[in-house]
């Protein structure tokens, strides 16, 4: 049977030809009335004893994963040590009426994939969420599972709740009848049941004394005391015996919890509650702070508007000055363009600076401190540069016979020095003093000279000395 009994017989028959033995549950055999389940906080129901003397609901032992039976055929000797310790109080029951016991025992989850709903087994039984293990499901790996309200059929939920409530009411009615019979004179059937119960209790005690001791882990594992519903109930009973009003403390704690988050709440409906009163008082303080902050923001906004207007006026004046400068620049360009037209009319081949480059610094390439040294630059190779060097024979004869050597920029010659750069000299100007031709005599010769030497060179304004590296051009 569902309780591990192979045969179910009637306890009301007293006929000798149909002799029957009354049946007793393990809690009655042990003489324990109304035990506490280790896996859930609910009372009542059918219990099974664990291997260490604790009690659990049979339905809890069947539906909680990790719970094992020492005797599977009789569904007895329940062991809880094979279940991981982190399961105790790991999840919060979503169906518990009392929040104090929501994290006690062990909760099971909805069998639907990715569903995060958890509840105690007996709480799910009250709500009609447990699946019924049929005979055709006996071959399944685990026929005992449950679904939450969302993933369960509403018709099945109503059917299960109706059946459970009927059984529960029947049990309550039977208990009331037994209480009434105790006040009356016991009947022969009741005397026989009491005698059989005493006999079964002796057998239970003898079996418990002679059975092999159960296996218990030697290593003690820590566990929160709040995960035990029995411990919580005993602590509450202790508080009541000490005269502590636990209900008032719970109410005060709930009020403090509501007041802790009152600053984060808005639009609480009016009510005679601590939450609304705290919200009303806090709202007055918040309104003062909001008004003060609003005044500061208005003042700051006005200052920023004034600053914006000042910057706007400054911007407009600057734009006006800029526009005047642009107009003046355009007028100057027009005047320069007219002058250029006149110059080109007089000298068509005259090279003039572009108008766009007037007033801008010339782009001079970077040179070394010593102009006689060529610096290697990582830029791209420019076109070849022409360097004129006088030959040795020309230096002896004193004539300016030029030799052109092509040297690529970025490379050094043998001496590393540049002897002379080409200089263009107009034929009607002196190479030294830049005097016009009209001041020379007919025998004057244009001369380009450098440093002086002992060799005299004729000049219209006197005699000069010829340099070692002098170059003469006629």
Q: What are phi and psi of 471, to 5 degrees?
A: -120, 125
Q: How confident is the model at residue 241, as a pLDDT?
A: 92
Structure tokens at 291: 């008004």
Q: Which residues contact 122 (CB under 8 A, 6 or more apart)?
A: 37, 40, 42, 45, 57, 59, 60
Rg, the chain, Cα only: 57
**Regions of the chain where pLDDT drops below 70:** 1-20, 134-141, 364-474
Q: How confident is the model at residue 267, as a pLDDT?
A: 79
Contact 143, 133 (CB under 8 A): yes
Q: How confident is the model at residue 9, as a pLDDT?
A: 47
CB atoms within 10 A of CB 99: 11
Q: How confident is the model at residue 124, as a pLDDT?
A: 93
Q: Label residues 217-231 b or e (16+ Cβ within 10 Å = b).
A: eeeeeeeeeebbbbe
Contact 121, 59 (CB under 8 A): yes
Strand pairing class (108-109; 118-119): antiparallel
* CA distances, 332 to each of 337, 430, 458 (Å): 8, 36, 48
Contact 60, 122 (CB under 8 A): yes
SS (H, E, C) 101-141: HCCCCCCEECCCCCCCCEECHHHHHHHCCECCCCHHHCCCC
Contact 233, 239 (CB under 8 A): no
Q: Residue 413 has what DSSP assignment? A: -
Structure tokens at 6: 């192979």
Q: What is the pLDDT of residues 385-397, one digit of tens each?
A: 555 566 666 666 6
Q: What global pTM score does this model have?
A: 0.54
Kind and range of the H or E run holding 293: helix 274-346
């Amino acid at each position: 049977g569902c309780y591990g009994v192979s045969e179910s017989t009637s306890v009301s028959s007293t006929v000798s030809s149909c002799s029957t033995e009354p049946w007793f549950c393990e809690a009655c055999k042990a003489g324990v009335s109304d035990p506490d389940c280790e896996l859930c906080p609910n009372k009542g129901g059918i219990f099974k004893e664990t291997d260490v003397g604790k009690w659990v609901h049979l339905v809890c032992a069947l539906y909680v994963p990790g719970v094992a039976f020492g005797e599977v055929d009789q569904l007895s000797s329940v062991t809880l040590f094979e279940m991981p310790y982190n399961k105790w109080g790991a999840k919060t029951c979503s169906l518990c009426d009392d929040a104090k016991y929501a994290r006690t025992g062990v909760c099971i989850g909805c069998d639907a994939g990715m569903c995060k709903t958890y509840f105690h087994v007996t709480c799910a039984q009250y709500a009609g969420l447990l699946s019924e293990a049929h005979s055709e499901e006996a071959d399944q790996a685990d026929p005992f599972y449950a679904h939450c309200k969302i993933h369960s059929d509403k018709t099945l939920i109503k059917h299960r709740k109706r059946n459970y409530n009927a059984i529960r009411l029947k049990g309550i009615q039977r208990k009331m009848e037994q209480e009434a019979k105790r006040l009356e004179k016991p009947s022969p059937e009741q005397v026989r049941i009491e005698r059989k119960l005493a006999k079964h209790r002796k057998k239970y005690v003898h079996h418990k004394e002679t059975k092999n001791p159960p296996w218990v882990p030697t290593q003690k594992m820590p566990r929160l005391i709040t995960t035990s519903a029995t411990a919580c109930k005993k602590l509450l009973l202790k508080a009541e015996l000490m005269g502590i009003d636990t209900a008032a403390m719970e109410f005060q704690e709930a009020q403090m919890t509501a007041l802790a988050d009152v600053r984060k709440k808005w639009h609480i409906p009016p009510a005679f509650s601590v939450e609304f009163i705290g919200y009303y008082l806090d709202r007055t303080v918040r309104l003062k702070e909001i008004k003060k902050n609003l005044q500061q923001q208005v003042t700051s906004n006005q200052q920023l508007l004034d600053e914006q207007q000042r910057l706007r006026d400054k911007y407009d004046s600057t734009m006006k000055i800029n526009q005047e400068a642009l107009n003046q620049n355009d007028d100057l360009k027009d005047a320069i363009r007219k002058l250029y037209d006149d110059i080109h009319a007089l000298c068509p081949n005259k090279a003039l600076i572009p108008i766009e480059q007037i007033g801008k610094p010339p782009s001079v390439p970077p040179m070394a401190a010593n102009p006689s040294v060529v610096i290697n630059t990582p830029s791209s190779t420019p076109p070849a540069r022409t360097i004129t060097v006088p030959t040795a024979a020309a230096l002896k004869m004193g004539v300016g016979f030029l030799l052109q050597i092509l040297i690529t920029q970025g490379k050094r010659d043998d001496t590393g020095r540049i002897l002379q750069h080409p200089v263009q000299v107009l034929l009607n100007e002196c190479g030294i003093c830049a005097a016009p031709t009209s001041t020379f005599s007919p025998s004057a010769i244009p001369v380009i000279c450098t440093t002086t030497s002992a060799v005299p060179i004729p000049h219209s304004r006197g005699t000069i000395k010829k340099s070692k590296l002098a170059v003469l051009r006629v």
